Chain A
Amino acid sequence: MFSVGAPIKDSRAPGGPIETRWDRRRFEARLVSPANRRRLTVIVVGTGLAGASAAATLAEAGYRVRSYCYQDSPRRAHSIAAQGGINAAKNYRNDGDSVHRLFHDTVKGGDFRSRESNVHRLAQVSVEIIDQCVAQGVPFAREYGGLLDNRSFGGAQVSRTFYARGQTGQQLLLGAYQALSRQVAAGTVEAFTRHEMLDLVVADGRARGIVVRDLVTGEITTELADAVVLATGGYGNVFFLSTNAKGCNVTASWRAHRRGALFANPCFTQIHPTCIPQSGPHQSKLTLMSESLRNDGRVWVPAKAGDGRAPGDIPEGERDYYLERMYPSFGNLVPRDIASRAAKNVCDEGRGVGSGVYLDFADAIARLGRAAVAERYGNLFEMYQRITGEDPYEVPMRIYPAVHYTMGGLWVDYDLQSTIPGLFVIGEANFSDHGANRLGASALMQGLADGYFVLPNTINDYLADGPFPAVDPSAESSALAAVRERVARLLAVNGDRTVDSFHRELGRVMWDHCGMERTDAGLRKAISLVRSLRDEFWARVRVPPSAGFNQSLERAGRVADFLELAELMCVDALHRTESCGGHFRAESQTPDGEALRDDARFSYVAAWEWTGGAPVLHREDLEFEYVTPSQRSYK
């Protein structure tokens, strides 16, 4: 199934006391003089929080930036849909928060499968992010005194989450988009919309450009630069149904992986506990209900299986507020992996209510009044009502877990550089900060930390060796030819099944066998199913033949890559026989059903090398000097 290669090490990670490492790295990294920056070009793929903030910041610093996105505007990247908030260790609440506590919570929340150095840097930088966003005019929620408001999120006992109603991602992304727009106007960024990266150009062992398809004309070209930054998001759409946007895909990351970048911890996926349940077989995507709802909503199911009564008819004594019962100290605010699995378990016991569990605001409305609840969650309640036709002010919401985020991604060192020199990976596309489970409100923090503060400091060290010599034309033309050949192959099959039918089937296999609970037998079965589905795809897919604007062709290329990634996810999940965070192996659990880690054997990052056949595993051992790994307890 796989073989084991040489261990891998993060050669850029500085040593010394953890509080000083980021300062030290910034000091030791070489700089590029302002005059030389004008001669260096950086390609940034993706315009979400990480990509837009990186492109804007690099351009402000004086680099020439080329920015690419598949959407019709940079503002549409899926960061826009993040609802709940962004964490920062400001301690404005005077509730005992600190950089060290945010660091500690994040390492623990990730179930001890992330790097201490990276996470500590993230916590340090979090403070600057809020300052930066406020200066840009991001309209965070404020209190009557004019100061910023905070709320709590899962996995934390302090209030450190900054928010803009239920649209925090939108407001942060628009801030980054506007900073990017300012640089476009200044001529330092060239923005290419409706362009999709289909391959990476590697020459003399360095990432030197990308192959892109203009989605309007269908033209395929190469674009060259001194460095390439991927900010292309996660791969949750391998499950077909997820909270991701329809266009989210793994293609840029996967193509880089096939060119030599290691892919780390692909089986670490996050299933979010509070999503609107599926309503029928036509479902094209799932919609998240922000985790912030668990601040005031109470999760429950009927105590008895098969209780068919309306929620209002079930008396208090016959309800099971199972999170509060099982985890009295964190209650409804346990981390996502724990809340999701608990929901699955009560539904498997037959106590689910119409394919979900209740999230009930009756107590909050009685305590705070309807107006206060509307002020906090109004837009979420409206969204719920639009989709389900039910009014959550009157009847409890019904929620069920859904795929939401992927902690795995391309392997990067402390500088956020992949194993291909000159290829940097930021935001959800890399694997670096969340371990085996991401805490709520930490994705926005990481995306902006990488884009505004980390990458713009670390990339200088690489670019100090540039400008690099002209790219060998054969490297360029072979990448171009490979992409054209693949597109031609997709169009040539002309079979009898649609792209979506394959995608749905793949999603079902992954959800059943590589979802909330994984077993040896199930994963082996999934691998064989994925392989035969992949063969069938290339024999039977039907893609309408339009040469120019062709949305089926876009999807076909993405699904073809998901069909390859899916196998690696299953292999990774199979090899990691422990449970940790969102990766729950049924064979490895505590007596009360919690994830049971095996630190002696698995305290490492699994970084996979593409070979075309069985992948090669490179282990990066994790060291914990500041947070002692323990069985996570939220009881």
Chain B
Amino acid sequence: MNLTLRIWRQAGPRERGRMVAYEVAGVSPDMSFLEVLDMLNERLTLEGAEPVAFDHDCREGICGACGLVVNGVAHGPSKATTTCQLHMRHFRDGDTIDVEPWRARAFPVVKDLVVDRGALDRVIQAGGYVSAPTGSAPDAHALPVPKEDADAAFEAATCIGCGACVAACPNGSAMLFTAAKVTHLARLPQGQPERQSRVLDMVAAHDEAGFGGCTNTGECTAVCPKGIPLETIGQLNRDYLQAARRPARSRP
């Protein structure tokens, strides 16, 4: 296959970026999207040009490092698929493909297709955990968890923190990301003691990080590579309302 890639090039956070077109020949349908960028970068390096910077690591859809907006869609056209798992058999010979970074106020561009997603870490630091210092745990079977709850917690916990939900959201909101963690821990007995403070603190950190508000557009869940459902945001809203109604000193 022969393709034209139009790629966002930006030398640094304060530089102006622009789309640059590259012809890429000899693409195999079995290649992953990132392998096409590898191939282009090999050529650019030998030509003495600057290779395209992009984040990636595990290349098996679980680390959450990669993330490109492909033809206007976060992670590209395949449903429930990260960019690294997107294969070229989904494109046609002669296609022109636009490749851009995540665009959101809370994710400043570092270089080319690489953005700074540190804001997501700050949301977790605000409360996305159970306070269980090492060594303090009771036997694992001391507290049975109904399978239904364990499964629901697991579904929410599969979020890979890639930030596609933010890139897709017209408001640049990370509410699906935040809700996934809130739901994971709210569905487990271990998460109950800190449930209310957690949701308030995480939402506060979310807003402070520069993410926008959620208006239930649903673009986030449409692009989520792990299919985190929109219902998690409903769970977050219920928990938030309940927690916010209680006076601060009586909140767990």
A500 CB within 8 Å of chain B: yes
By the criterion of a CB under 8 Å from any partner CB, how many residues of chain B are at the interface?
Answer: 78
A432 CB within 8 Å of chain B: no
A178 and B49 alpha carbons, distance in the complex (Å): 41
A576 and B111 alpha carbons, distance in the complex (Å): 47
**Which positions 47-80 of chain B face chain A at CB distance < 8 Å?**
48-51, 53, 55-65, 78, 80
Known: A164-B154, A178-B130. A549 touches B137 (CB 8 A): no
B211 to chain A, nearest CB (A): 16
Chain A positions within 8 Å of B, measured between CB atoms, are 53, 56-57, 60, 71-76, 78, 80-81, 90, 92, 128, 130-137, 139-148, 164-165, 167, 170-171, 174, 177-179, 181-182, 184-185, 191, 193, 216, 243, 245-247, 279-280, 282-285, 287-288, 382-383, 386-387, 389, 452-453, 456, 496, 498, 500-501, 542, 544, 546, 548-549, 551-552
B199 to chain A, nearest CB (A): 15
Task: Point out the residues of chain B lying under 8 angstroms from A283, CB to CB.
Answer: 35
**B190 CB contact (under 8 Å) in A137, A174, A182, A246:** A137
Q: Are A246 and B57 touching (Cβ within 8 A)? A: yes
A48 and B154 alpha carbons, distance in the complex (Å): 20
Task: Point out the residues of chain A lying under 8 angstroms from B139, CB to CB.
Answer: 131
Q: Are A383 and B60 touching (Cβ within 8 A)? A: yes
B2 CB within 8 Å of chain A: no
Task: List the A residue with the shortest CB-CB distance to B130.
Answer: A137
Chain B positions within 8 Å of A, measured between CB atoms, are 12, 28, 30-32, 34-35, 38-39, 41-42, 45-46, 48-51, 53, 55-65, 78, 80-81, 85, 87, 89, 110-111, 114, 116-118, 120-121, 124-126, 128-141, 143-147, 150-151, 153-154, 157-158, 160-161, 184-185, 188, 190-191
A492 to chain B, nearest CB (A): 15
A128 and B124 alpha carbons, distance in the complex (Å): 25
**B46 CB contact (under 8 Å) in A130, A134, A498:** A498
**B191 CB contact (under 8 Å) in A53, A71, A133, A137:** A137
Q: Are B188 and A501 touching (Cβ within 8 A)? A: no
**B125 CB contact (under 8 Å) in A146, A185, A501:** A185
Task: Point out the residues of chain B lying under 8 angstroms from A243, CB to CB.
Answer: 60
Return the 10 tightest CB-CB contacts between A and B, nearest first: A146-B144, A178-B129, A135-B137, A139-B154, A131-B137, A135-B132, A134-B140, A245-B57, A279-B30, A139-B153
Q: Are B60 and A73 touching (Cβ within 8 A)? A: no
A551 and B133 alpha carbons, distance in the complex (Å): 37
**A389 CB contact (under 8 Å) in B35, B38, B87:** B87
**B81 CB contact (under 8 Å) in A78, A148, A287, A386:** A386
Known: A452-B134, A542-B46. A500 touches B125 (CB 8 A): no
B26 to chain A, nearest CB (A): 9
Q: Are B128 and A181 touching (Cβ within 8 A)? A: yes
Known: A81-B62, A178-B128, A552-B45. A284 touches B34 (CB 8 A): yes
Can you offer 6 A-B residue contacts whose CB atoms are under 8 A?
A71-B57, A72-B117, A73-B64, A76-B161, A78-B57, A383-B60
A283 and B59 alpha carbons, distance in the complex (Å): 11
Task: List the B residue with the shortest CB-CB distance to A171.
Answer: B157
Q: Are B61 and A131 touching (Cβ within 8 A)? A: no
A365 and B127 alpha carbons, distance in the complex (Å): 42
Q: Are B140 and A544 touching (Cβ within 8 A)? A: no
Q: Are B140 and A247 touching (Cβ within 8 A)? A: no
A551 and B138 alpha carbons, distance in the complex (Å): 45
Task: List the A residue with the shortest CB-CB distance to B52.
Answer: A551
**B161 CB contact (under 8 Å) in A73, A81, A141, A216:** A73
Known: A142-B145, A182-B125. A137 touches B53 (CB 8 A): no
A283 and B30 alpha carbons, distance in the complex (Å): 9
Q: Are B132 and A132 touching (Cβ within 8 A)? A: yes
Q: Are B131 and A78 touching (Cβ within 8 A)? A: no
A181 and B123 alpha carbons, distance in the complex (Å): 10
Task: Point out the residues of chain B lying under 8 angstroms from A81, CB to CB.
Answer: 58, 60, 62-63
Known: A76-B63, A92-B141, A131-B138. A280 touches B128 (CB 8 A): no
